[in-house]
Each structure stands twice: as C-alpha cells, then as structure tokens.
Amino acid sequence: MAEQQLELIPPLTHLTEDEVIFRDSVRSFADARVAPLVHDMDEHAKIAQPLIAQLFELGVMGIEIPESYGGAGGRFFHAVLAVEELSRVDPSIGVLVDVQNTLVINALLRWGSEDVKRRYLPKLADGTVGAYALSEAGSGSDAFALSARAAERGDEFVLTGRKLWITNGHEADLFIVFATINPDAGYRGITAFLVERGFPGFEVGKKEDKLGIRASSTCELLLEDCRVPRANVLGEVGKGYRVAIETLNEGRIGIGAQMIGLSRGALDHAIRYTKERRQFSRPIADFQGVRFQLAQAATELEASRLMVYNAARLRDAGRPFLTEAAMCKIFSSDVAERITSLAVQLFGGYGYTRDYPVEKLFRDAKIGQIYEGTSNMQLQTIAKQILG
C-alpha cells in the first residue's frame, strides 16, 4: 500500500507571520547584543546599562502598551516570545523584560485610571524600568500577610515598611508597592500604590547576592514615612489583593517562558557539544545512551513550550487561564532543572566550570521553582481547580 501523507493540524507552536518576524528580531538581538555580555554580567552581578537602553530601542520593554501611549501595541503572546528568546541567551535579561511587561505594564493597563496611564505608560515605553513589590520577610507564599502599612493623610498616603526580593529593584524608577491600610480587614485592606524612586521616604536597600540570574537585581525596599499622592493608588483602595492575584497569573506564564528559553539554550549547547566531543574514536552523540537522553529532553521541552504557549493564547483570547498558568509554570521549571542538569552532565568536567555556559544556566534554572509562586503553591492552585 502506498504511503499516505497526513495533513497535520498546526500545533500550538505555530506562529503567525508577524509573530515570526518579532521572534526573529529578538533572537538576532539576543545573539548579537546580549550573548557577548553574559559572562561579565553574571560575574559582576549587574546588567550592562547600555543594554537596557537597547532593549527599549528594540521595543520589548513596552510590548502591550498601546501605540497611543508610545508602546509597541503588541499582544501578551509577543511578550512571551520576547522573554523566551532572551532567556535562551540570558535568563537575567529575560526576567527584566518579563517583570516589565507581564507584571508592571499589565497591572497598569488593567487597573490604572486614565490619568495613571497617561502619566506612566509613555515613560515605561521609553526608558523607565518598573518593579513589582509584594513580598516581605513574613509574606512569601502567604502573600497577603503584609506588615507594610499605609495611612491616609489628606491627599496623600504615608507608607511604612520593608519589601524583600524585589526583581528589577536596582534598575527601576517606578514601583508597584502593596501595603495595607487596615490590618483588621485582612486581605481586604491591601492597596496597591505607584511609588517613584524619588518620592520622600523611599529608598532601595540591599541588593541580594544570589545563586543564579545574578545580573538580575533582587533588592529590598525601605519605606520610612514615604509620601504617595492619592492619585497614585492603582485600582481602588482596599482592592490591592485583586491587582496582585490577577496580575501574578500572567506573571507565571512569563516565568514559564523564561524556563523554556533557558532550557532551549542548555539543550542547544548540549547538542552541539555532544557532536564535537569524541570518546572511543567517535562523537559521544553517536552513543545510544546520550541520544536517548537528548531525545527525552527535547520531548519534555516541546511539552513545556506547548503548555506555555497555550496559556498565553488563552489569555490573549480572554478565556480563563488560571489552571493553565499554574501548570505551565510548575512543569516548565521542573523541566528546566532536568535539562540544565543533563547539559552539565554531558559536558562532563567542563560543564562544572564557568568557562562553559551550561553551569550558569543550571544555576539560573532553580529560581523557576521559587519565585512568583513556589511549585507547592502551584500544585495547591491546580488541586483546588480540579477538585472544585
């Protein structure tokens, strides 16, 4: 019987023409502008300042901001593609772009008044880095156990407290800060505020010395009678918990994109190396044990990409995506840990040195199981949804 050629249904990884053009532009930028700086940025735990300006010029720091506010007028899926491509080369740059788009800009677009959008969206599209300040020493997975306080004084709120683990803290000039105006009201007392770096009583404190994504800054924020205009409340007073919950859902898809990007980078390095490294007079890629491990890694990576892309497509279509966001984050972060570990293993002794890139990606991967909701919290979310 003659073979029949099956017509395959386009997979979720199928991209439209404009998405391909956008992805390729970010990929070229990552290879040409980011890759040469990765080792030094990791070594010195600092993003090269000119690179941040170049990211704004590329248009990836304001992807969903409408063109009327100076942004790119893109979709959430474009942000996912940008984070993936940048993270393939350096997950530190990937998370800089991720927080800017999926958390900060996303929150302003959804919850900001017209006045807030007019004042801040053009800046976020044209040079201002944003940060998202929810976590504290006593509130991690229990995100709403906040000790930061906000008191009303006329046309201002006065914020007092300390925030920890704030990504982009060193680079940012605009911060979404969560504080409670009424501790007795529990989560219903939480309010989101837009705080500028120059506001009286606001200070960026200690920068953490981390295992991975070292170039990405993670800082504490100090609020000592920090005065914030009432006009800088994001959303409604007492509704900050909704801003946080709904924004973090998108953020988890962004972390999924970061994880598939770094997994791709590690797997690409491993494939190239196994073709070049010779043992017993042949490339180690010829050995079945190596080939099967690479095949398994490629399969898990493709599954991760499908889950991340699916969650992003659902979000852009205005359909529920809470469960899918949690699933793609936990799965992609687990896969990233396995693939980067395999890459180090296949590189052998070289993989354990900083002369080769897989060691860094291995360190970078661990954070995926921790920030923007730990893996256990994602499992709790998934279980709650499937069990009703």
Catalytic residues: 372
Q: Which residues contact 269 (CB under 8 A, 6 or more apart)?
A: 343, 347, 356, 357, 358, 361
Distance CA 336, CA 263 (A): 5
User: How, if at all, do strands 149-153 and 202-207 pair?
Assistant: unpaired
Residue ranges in the chain assigned as alpha helix (H): 17-29, 38-44, 49-58, 76-89, 91-98, 106-111, 114-125, 240-276, 288-316, 322-347, 358-365, 375-387
Residue 142: Cβ-neighbour burial (10 angstroms; 0-12, 13-18, 19+) = exposed
Backbone angles phi, psi at 374, to 5 degrees: -65, 165
Alpha carbon dihedral 63, 67, 71, 75, in 10-degree steps, equals -10
159 DSSP β-pair partners: 150, 226
Task: Using DSSP, state whether 160 is helix, strand or coil.
Answer: strand
129 DSSP β-pair partners: none
Distance CA 342, CA 256 (A): 19
Residue 292: Cβ-neighbour burial (10 angstroms; 0-12, 13-18, 19+) = exposed
Residue 319: Cβ-neighbour burial (10 angstroms; 0-12, 13-18, 19+) = exposed
Q: Which helix (H) or strand (E) is 279 found in, with range?
A: strand 278-279
Q: Which residues contact 175 (CB under 8 A, 6 or more apart)?
A: 130, 131, 132, 133, 166, 169, 194, 195, 196, 197, 202, 221
Among residues 198, 183, 188, which one has the least CA distance to residue 229?
A: 198
227 DSSP β-pair partners: 158
Identify the residue whose tokens are 């300042």: 49
